Amino acid sequence: MSFTLSPLPYAHNALEPHIDELTMQIHHGKHHQAYVTNLNNAIAGTVNEGKTIEELVAVAGSISPAVRNNGGGHWNHTFFWESLAPNAGGTPTGDLAAAIDAAFGSFEEFKTKFATAGTTRFGSGWVWLIVKDGKLEISSTPNQDNPLMDVAEVKGTPILGVDVWEHAYYLKYQNKRPDYLAAIWNVINWNKVAERFAAAK
Ligand code: MN3
């Protein structure tokens, strides 16, 4: 059984003006599709055919670079689309808000630290909010790695992930990654993040 690209959970223009329609079309329809296609090609006829994406990601250090990179790309992007929503943003509430305050001092401090982690990730990668030993932490990973991978420097359960590859923002923000990371707060789906937090605790 091979992997398939799920449709975006909203229209390509639904995150305008923060993330533009053309970026979403290319990012989902071309980049994410390519990870799925290349992952399927890389596992075809091997022992990895038939494994779940979670099983593949967990053993990233001992599989081929093609499976690690494209498998990570598939998992990360699926997670990213669900981390965003139209008419979203605002501030987290309840247990999640309390945990953010406890870990980072305040929601504003959290946003600053998360943006710094994303901005200082050299080259391409991801910035994450994870649950580690019951507490929240910010981490970042290179390329298409993620905190579920055995190779991750900081391992944990991701509850929010933001793509900082140039393809995620270049058409609208050009080289200004900090502007993209400032705008992304307008479209974070905190209900989804809270749901993941409750499951991960
Ligand atoms: Mn991407």
pLDDT tens sequence for the chain (201 residues): 699 999 999 999 999 999 999 999 999 999 999 999 999 999 999 999 999 999 999 999 999 999 999 999 999 999 999 999 999 999 999 999 999 999 999 999 999 999 999 999 999 999 999 999 999 999 999 999 999 999 999 999 999 999 999 999 999 999 999 999 999 999 999 999 999 999 998
Q: Tell me which amino acid residue 56 is.
A: L
3-state secondary structure of 188: strand
Contact 162, 118 (CB under 8 A): yes
* Ion ligand 1: residues, CB < 5 A: 163, 165
C-alpha of residue 102 to centroid of ligand 1, in Å: 31
Q: Ligand 1 center to residue 126 CA distance, Å?
A: 9
112 Cβ contact partners less than 8 Å away, ≥ 6 residues apart: none
Which residues, 6+ apart, have CB-to-CB distance to 195 below 8 Å?
none
Ligand 1 center to 26 CA (angstroms): 10
**DSSP letter at 30?**
I
The C-alpha torsion from 10 through 126 and 107 to 12, rounded to 10°, is -20
- Cα–ligand 1 centroid distance for 20 (angstroms): 14
Measure 163 CA to ligand 1 centroid, in angstroms: 6
Question: Which single residue is written with the structure tokens 């990179």?
Answer: 69
Say how many Å lie between the CA of residue 56 and the centre of ligand 1: 19
* Centroid of ligand 1 to alpha carbon of 28 (angstroms): 8
